[in-house]
Every structure is written in C-alpha cells, then in structure tokens.
Amino acid sequence: MNAHRLSSSLAAAALLAGSTLVNAAEPAFSLAWSEYPSWSVFGVAHVLKLIDGREDKLGPIEQKWGVDIVLKEAEYDPCLTLYGSSQCDAVCITTLDALNPALGRPSVVVLPTSTSAGADALIVPKSIQRVQQLRGRKIHGLAKSVSEYCFNRNLELLGEKPEDYKYSNMDPGAAAVAMQQRQKAVEAIIVWNPFVLETLNKRKDTHVLFDSRTLPNEIIDSVVVAQSSLARPGGREFACAVIDAFYQVNRRLAAPETRDDTLIAIGEKFSHLDLPAMKTVVQQTRFYGSADQALALMTGEDLKTVTRRVVDFCLKQGIVPSAPRIGYGTAQETGDVALRFDPTYIRAVQARP
C-alpha cells in the first residue's frame, strides 16, 4: 500500500477514534519507550488517536480509564536511565534488563509484549564460521544488558567460557553503524532489530553466527511500572490503559483487512522499515498479541523456571550485582519483592472490553 493510501487509512481511523480533550484533569503517568516492534505499538496507538501521548490531552482509551498517558520516546539505554532515575513511571524494557533498576526501585511487570526469537543476533563477517574464531577479537554490544546476556548464554550453550572472549561496551546503534561503514575496529557486533536487519542489508558479506532463537522465553519484552506509581491514585488505571492500547493495536494486526496497514504504521515508528521487512521483524519478535497469550505466560510454571535461570546467570556473569527478590501475583500475595509479575491488570482489561 502506498504512503498516500496509508495516511488516508490512518486519518480515517483517527476520525473514528474521536478527538482528544485538552486540559485533562485526570492523573498523568509517563511511559518511556524506544524503537522496537512491540513497543512501537504505543507510538502507533498515538498516531491512530487511540491515546494521545501528549500531556494534558486524552484519547478515548485514556478517557475510558480516567488517566493521562504521557509518552516519552528515547533510545533504549536512555529509557533505562529515565526509569532508573525515577524520571518516568513506566518503561518498555526486557524483564532481564528490569533486574538492575528493580534493586533500587521496586517494579512490576504488568504486560509482556513480545519475546525475542532471532531479533537479538551476533553479526560477523562470513569469513568467521565458528565462534572460536572470535577469541582475541572484540565483540561490541551494550554491556550488562540483554545483548551481553544473549552472547554469554549462547557461548555457554556452545560449551564455551565467556571469560575467554572480549565483550566491549558499545551503544547498539553506534556498533551497527560502525560495522555498516566497515570500520576496522568493529568486526563483530551483537545487537537487536532494527540494527540486525539494517546491518545484514548493508553488509552482504556478513551473517548471523547465532541469535536468540536458542533462548526461548529468556528474553521477554515488557512494560514495567514502578510499584510507587501503581500505588498513586490512578496507578491501576494507568497500567490498564497501557495494556488496553497495546491490545487494541494488536487486534488490528490480527485482522486481515488491517494487518498490512498496521505493520506499515509500526514500521514507520520502527526505523522506517517497509512491509516485507516488517513481516520478517514480527517473525523474529513474537508478539503476545492477546490477553490469553500473555496470561498463559504470566501464570505458567515455565516463567518461574526461566526467570530463575536468567537471574542466576546474570548474577554469575556480573550483569546484576545481587539477585533481586522475584514474586508472582499481587503485592498482597508476594509481599515485599523487588520485581513482581502481576497478571491482574491484564485480567482487568480483559473483563472490561
């Protein structure tokens, strides 16, 4: 579909959604999000006027729940900084990367949005066919993050020791650009989409040596809200409104007549990728597109087993300084924990269509 037809489609959807209200008196909460497939959904929800990400203005979902969602878009690492320094109420983050900030700011996973199934990848020249060839060379990626975890876990699965390799901290965007520009100092990077696809497209002499497909459900993308924000008046409704917005866009993804338009809209928010590229992206980033899918994850025993493995590995690798206490359920059910997986907000949205 061409850009004119897409913009017309989105404009029509916006008119149907209704106009925003100015000078909203509802309590305001902020959500920091970065460019990633299942998080770009919130930018699309704003474009479609399902929500209005500006302060003091409301879309219909915000009116429904009686809260003002303020969207803060930034790169991933700055989003983590915003959340860790209490400059936002909620953040789009992997559950793995939530471990560190939760040590100082008790946090709640209210919504799993997707899981990485190839979206995090180690890219090297085609001359490198075995991971052992990387010994003595620097591997560039964001330190103490999902990238370092993915790299070290894959080494472990291959029978290798992470200490035998040189992991070097570098912003994923900068690492991808350096490799795309054939900078000699950067010959191996571990990054996530869109940097993976962009690098492979621009460097035909590179390939993926391994990726996150070997780590099912270990890298879970999510929305995490500070416990202190949930405890404020309107905190519960804020979490529900965010979840509601996510599922309303996902319903457009699930419907054949609106799927392509919605993928293109997400692509506009996600590195301006076209429809064929976005079809690849959503294969490598599997959305938990319905409440039933999310609840199956959040209430299943597998989540506890995988999370325990993730925490233990992060502690062993020094990705976290100490193991945060993890809980599953409401605050009353879990008691005082650092990070809590709470499905009750999803259930509340499910009960109020």
pLDDT tens digits, one per residue of 220-248: 999 999 999 999 999 999 999 999 999 99
Nearest to 243 by CA among 265, 222, 261, 264: 222
The whole-number pLDDT of residue 128 equals 97
Share of the chain above pLDDT 70, in %: 93
Task: Say which DSSP state 19 is in.
Answer: P
Greatest CA span in the chain, whole angstroms?
A: 60
Q: Which residues contact 49 (CB under 8 A, 6 or more apart)?
A: 13, 14, 17, 18, 19, 20, 59, 60
What is the band of 346 on the pLDDT scale with cuts at 50, 70, 90? very high
Coil/strand/helix, residue 337: coil
| Across 205-228, average pLDDT | 95
- Give the mean pLDDT of 289-301: 95
pLDDT band at 113 (very low <50, low <70, confident <90, very high): very high
Q: Is the pLDDT of residue 1 over 50?
A: no
Q: What is the pTM of this model?
A: 0.86
Residue found by looking up tokens 């309303």 in the block: 248
Report pLDDT digits (tens) over 18-41: 445 544 489 999 999 998 899 999
Average pLDDT over every residue of 113-141: 96
**pLDDT mean over 301-305:** 93
Mean pLDDT for the chain overall: 91
pLDDT at 25: 80
Report residue 183's pLDDT band, with 50, 70 and 90 as the boundaries: very high
The answer, yes or no, to whether residue 15 has pLDDT greater than 50, is no
The pLDDT value recorded for residue 10 is 46
Nearest by Cα to 84 from 67, 111, 107: 107
Where is average pLDDT lowest: 13-17, 148-152, 307-311?
Answer: 13-17
Q: Is the pLDDT of residue 108 over 90?
A: yes
Inform me whether the pLDDT recorded for 171 exceeds 50. Answer: yes
**Mean pLDDT lowest among 123-137, 146-160, 268-282:** 268-282
Min mean pLDDT across 3-12, 126-135, 148-157, 203-212 is at: 3-12
pLDDT of 60: 98
Using alpha carbons, select from 216, 266, 191 the residue that is nearest to residue 36.
Answer: 266
In order of start, what are the domains of the chain with their CATH numbers? 3-116+218-350 (3.40.190.10), 120-214 (3.40.190.10)
Q: What pLDDT does residue 109 have?
A: 98
Which residues, 6 or more positions from 53, have their beta carbon under 8 angstroms from its beta carbon?
Answer: 42, 43, 46, 69, 70, 71
Question: Residue 105: which residues within 8 A CB-CB, separation 6 or more?
Answer: 83, 84, 86, 226, 227, 228
Model confidence pLDDT, tens digit, residues 244-267: 999 999 999 999 999 999 999 988
Burial of 160 (0-12, 13-18, 19+ CB in 10 A): middle
Local structure of residue 213 (DSSP, 8 states): G
Per-residue model confidence (pLDDT) at position 20: 52
DSSP label of 211: E
What pLDDT shows up at residue 19? Answer: 46
CA dihedral 37→286→47→248, nearest 10 degrees, is -160
CA distance 52 to 57: 6
**For residue 194, what pLDDT is reported?**
86
Q: CA-CA distance, 323 to 119, in Å (whole number)? A: 26
pLDDT in tens, 38-76: 999 999 999 999 999 999 999 999 999 999 999 999 989
Residue 295's pLDDT is: 97
Three-state DSSP class for residue 233: coil
* pLDDT greater than 80 at residue 85: yes
Q: Inform me whether the pLDDT recorded for 297 exceeds 50.
A: yes
pLDDT tens digit sequence for 304-344: 999 999 999 999 888 899 999 999 999 999 999 999 999 99
